[in-house]
Amino acid sequence: MGLMSAPVPPGWPAEVWPPQQVGWEDTAVAWLLDQAPSEWRLLPVLRRHPQVLAWLTVQHLQGEVQAARAAWTDLPTRRIEPQAVNEVRQMLADVGPELGRRLQAAVFLQAALDGLRYVPRL
């Protein structure tokens, strides 16, 4: 990867090079596509417009967070066994933090692709 050319915020995806490093946008696009629905890989327009890809990926991940929250709330109203409710809630609790980290990382990439630069606090 070479020397870091710009600081990145805590939570920046390890697979993505720092902004202003040659080729960093390619690593950002690859990471964003890993977070998005698989059929997005077949859409060249998203590779040509990384800012749009980042924005859409943030929207997609926000939808996943909303769906997980709705599932948590609505599970008891479903016609499923109480044990299944507990198991699914545990699964949601297990995946929730990672989903939040992925969403935050996508927000960081969106900001960087929009030209904003992270400035660490002293």
pTM, rounded to two decimals: 0.90
Q: How far is CA 62 from the centre of its chain?
A: 9
pLDDT digits (tens, 9 = 90+) for 5-51: 679 999 999 999 999 899 999 999 999 999 999 999 999 999 999 99
**Identity of the amino acid at 44:** P
Banded model confidence at residue 1, pLDDT cuts 50, 70, 90: very low
Scanning the structure block, which residue is given the tokens 């995946």?
Answer: 95
Scanning the structure block, which residue is given the tokens 């948590």?
Answer: 72
pLDDT digits (tens, 9 = 90+) for 62-76: 999 999 999 999 999
